[in-house]
Structure 1
Amino acid sequence: MELKLKLEQLHQRVDSLKDQINTEEATKNAFVMPFIQILGYDIFNPTEVIPEFICDIGTKKGEKVDYVIKNNGEPILIIECKHWKENVDAHNSQLHRYYHVSKARFGVLTNGHTYNFYADLEKPNIMDEKPFFTLDLSDLKDSSIKILENFTKTDYSLENILDSAEAMKYIKAIRKEFEKELIEPSDEFIRILVNKFFDKPLIASRMVTFREYTKKAITNTINDSISLRLKSALNINENIAKEQHLENPQPIDENVENPKFITTEEELEGFQIVKAILREKIPTERIAYRDTQSYFGILLDDNNRKPLARLHFNTINNYLELFHNGKDAGEKILLNSIDEIYNYREQLHKTFENY
């Protein structure tokens, strides 16, 4: 996909230049204007891209939105930009005011690497509080690219965007409610499940019991599903490695001393579980590992001073070492099975947040 390729190139540009970008204006010039170009709009044509567009709001005169994008002479998009270091979720009130007085159906709030797209699905001409679509250049999904295509100059479709926006809005809402049920099942949710196989009245004491059963059933189901996928991925990688070895066998150098430690399949499986937990907070490329003679270390940004966890799988018993206070000495926890690592999700998230 040409659009995805261009966005990946823009992401590389953002990563390589961001430390040299010190102002909001520089963020617009270096990151946002190339994004507008990728959508097919001529940034040098004032009939398509209008910078510093005046949006008079009541008694406030001279208020300006960073960009207005026009398609066939009609304003379709207003874009408000922030410095790349800022959190775009914290600045939608300004865009909200501009949206109210503009004729565009969509608004974008961006810091150059995250783009929040807003519409007026709740009330006409009043921007919704939550974006219906977020594009993150560091996490480009095919589904996101498909939605973004509807905003390009050649393929702009108001109807398709509104259909997608409504669908995403309700899917997000359903997912949010479902995730709540997974964490703390409600009485209604428990009744729906239990009434399918339990024909006695659900009195209060039984409800308490079935609540615990439901929690355990949900936890076990999720853990089994993730574990199955990880094992499948490990088997695929192992088969690929075997095929590559058969095709390109490495000559044995008798002068090279054998390593004093071997990275085991069990350690790699543990690493994949920790990686799956932490990817909720950080991109997977920031999670690295280094195997040593005494432990298997999992690091943030491949930095020994930023341990996220350690696996001690070289003895009779397996231990997970957690670092509650950053790089300080960790706490070793006995694991009866590798899947028990999932029980320490919050602690792993907190370790990352400490950095």
Structure 2
Amino acid sequence: MEDILDFSLRIKDLSARSRHASLHALTEEATKTAVLLPMIQALGFDVFNLEEVTPEYIADVGIKKGEKIDFAIKIDKKIAILIEAKPISVSLGTAQYSQLYRYFGVASARLAILTNGREVWFFSDIDEKNKMDKRPFFMFDLQSYDEHQVLELARFQKSSFAMDSILEAASNLKFVKSAATFLKKQLSTPDDDFVRYVGKQIYDGTLTKSVIEQLRPAISSALDELIRNRIQDKLNVTFGQEATQAEQQAEKKAVDEIKTSDIDTTAEETFAFLVVKAIGSKVLPVERITIRDAKSYCSIFVDDNNRKPVCRFYFNSKTTKHIGLFDEQKIETRHHIAEPADIYKFAKEIEQTLSGYS
């Protein structure tokens, strides 16, 4: 596989193109030129070689003649990937991609891509061979992604393309996604079957309906605590000797950002900053989340921009601590916390604020 850092830089450039296209690309053709062709190039394919990248690919389906798919990518002279594009103004959640679905059954491709220049959806035939799955096994947002997603995207590079390993990963991703969807639902509102299953492990009596209702909030709280502790453990590793070189560099960068201020930023404020970064990593690249200390509070911004506030830490009092959260109108509301780790309780609000700056 090509150096992942070089690939990450190419995706970062592609992200900038996608953001620009969101403002200026009004048609499907403009989206193809501004984002899709550079994306194919970023994956290592020669867009000027018709034997490798075929635009307007024709694959007659039954009585449907002359319909065209936007691009067909060939590897070893065999069609490996079909690509259908939509204008960047169109949400893929509502887009029709019946053409891609029909062609998948008659072409030799095992992979299909649907994109609007921002979202990139990857399909295969995991459920039924030679029939494109109705749901993508992997979705990549060019304007909001993390390092793990970049590693997954790197699998599709020409230099490391291996269909068997991609399909195996696709199957794993599908099951992981399905499991994550199920667990996410249980986190917010555990259903009776889930509560009954856990209840059998912790309750000796008969699981009546009233007992299940008593156990439900306790199990929900336990799940919250497990997730909070898991993230806490990961942060502790970052502070400890077991940190990887990449983690050590990330920690050093965070500390360097804090040291740029003449004001003494406390260890608690430093830790709270890293907590917000950990929460925000699902929404924005962590380097966009910045800190600026002041005498009475410590501020967290996106892009170090006063117009993009995320939250404030009020840790100067010896007896009480507060976190200030901002709504869509940038109106601040303070909440009492016992310790910086309690910031995880407001993860949803912080993610929502960060999403407004993506």
TM-score in terms of structure 2 length: 0.79
RMSD, matched Cα: 3.2
Unaligned runs of 5+ in 1: 245-257
**Paired position in structure 1 for 2:220:** 215
Residues 64-104 of structure 1: CA deviation (Å, up to 9, x unaligned): 32211123332221112345565545435253354355442
**Paired position in structure 2 for 1:33:** 37
- Looking at structure 2, the residues matched to 233 and 10 of structure 1 have their Cα atoms a distance apart, in angstroms, of 27
**Paired position in structure 2 for 1:250:** none
1:292 Cα deviation from its structure 2 partner: 0.7
User: What is the letter of the counterpart of residue 274 of structure 1?
Assistant: V
1:306 Cα deviation from its structure 2 partner: 1.8
**Paired position in structure 1 for 2:315:** 313
Worse-superposed segment, 20-29 or 185-194: 20-29
Aligned: 1:324 with 2:332 = no
- Looking at structure 2, the residues matched to 71 and 354 of structure 1 have their Cα atoms a distance apart, in angstroms, of 40
1:182 Cα deviation from its structure 2 partner: 2.5
**Paired position in structure 1 for 2:13:** 13
Cα distance 1:164–1:42, how it changes in 2: closer, same or farther (>3 A)?
same
* Match 2:127 to one of 115, 122, 126: 122
SS in 2 for 1:2: coil
Aligned: 1:148 with 2:156 = yes
Aligned: 1:50 with 2:54 = yes
Alignment check: 8 A CA contact 2:91 2:116 kept? yes
User: What is the letter of the counterpart of residue 155 of structure 2?
Assistant: I
**Paired position in structure 2 for 1:186:** 191
Residues 122-158 of structure 1: CA deviation (Å, up to 9, x unaligned): 3444422221123456534375156325xx2x65444
Equivalent runs, 1:246-261 vs 2, <5 Å: 259=262, 261=263
- RCO comparison, higher one (Cα < 8 Å, 6+): 2
1:200 Cα deviation from its structure 2 partner: 1.5
Equivalent runs, 1:82-161 vs 2, <5 Å: 82-83=86-87, 87-91=91-95, 93=97, 95-100=100-105, 102-112=107-117, 114-135=119-140, 138-141=145-148, 143-144=151-152, 147-148=155-156, 152=158, 156-161=161-166
Alignment check: 8 A CA contact 1:86 1:111 kept? yes
User: What is the letter of the counterpart of residue 349 of structure 2?
Assistant: Q
**Paired position in structure 2 for 1:350:** 352
1:283 Cα deviation from its structure 2 partner: 2.3
Residues 299-355 of structure 1: CA deviation (Å, up to 9, x unaligned): 122111221111111113111111124323x11111122222222223223333555
- Looking at structure 1, the residues matched to 203 and 276 of structure 2 have their Cα atoms a distance apart, in angstroms, of 37
Alignment check: 8 A CA contact 2:155 2:161 kept? no
**Paired position in structure 1 for 2:209:** 204
Unaligned runs of 5+ in 2: 253-260
SS in 2 for 1:127: coil
User: What is the letter of the counterpart of residue 298 of structure 1?
Assistant: I
TM-score in terms of structure 1 length: 0.80
Residues 96-123 of structure 1: CA deviation (Å, up to 9, x unaligned): 3543554422211234564321112334
Aligned: 1:233 with 2:233 = no
SS in 2 for 1:70: strand
Alignment check: 8 A CA contact 2:186 2:220 kept? no
- Looking at structure 2, the residues matched to 86 and 201 of structure 1 have their Cα atoms a distance apart, in angstroms, of 53
SS in 2 for 1:282: coil
- Looking at structure 1, the residues matched to 161 and 199 of structure 2 have their Cα atoms a distance apart, in angstroms, of 48
Cα distance 1:283–1:163, how it changes in 2: closer, same or farther (>3 A)?
same
Alignment check: 8 A CA contact 2:14 2:39 kept? no
**Paired position in structure 2 for 1:70:** 74
Alignment check: 8 A CA contact 1:234 1:269 kept? no
- Looking at structure 2, the residues matched to 49 and 206 of structure 1 have their Cα atoms a distance apart, in angstroms, of 61
SS in 2 for 1:320: strand
Cα distance 1:13–1:338, how it changes in 2: closer, same or farther (>3 A)?
closer
- Looking at structure 1, the residues matched to 17 and 196 of structure 2 have their Cα atoms a distance apart, in angstroms, of 55
- Looking at structure 2, the residues matched to 147 and 56 of structure 1 have their Cα atoms a distance apart, in angstroms, of 30
Quote the sequence identity (%). Answer: 33
1:204 Cα deviation from its structure 2 partner: 2.3
**Paired position in structure 2 for 1:81:** 85
1:268 Cα deviation from its structure 2 partner: 1.4
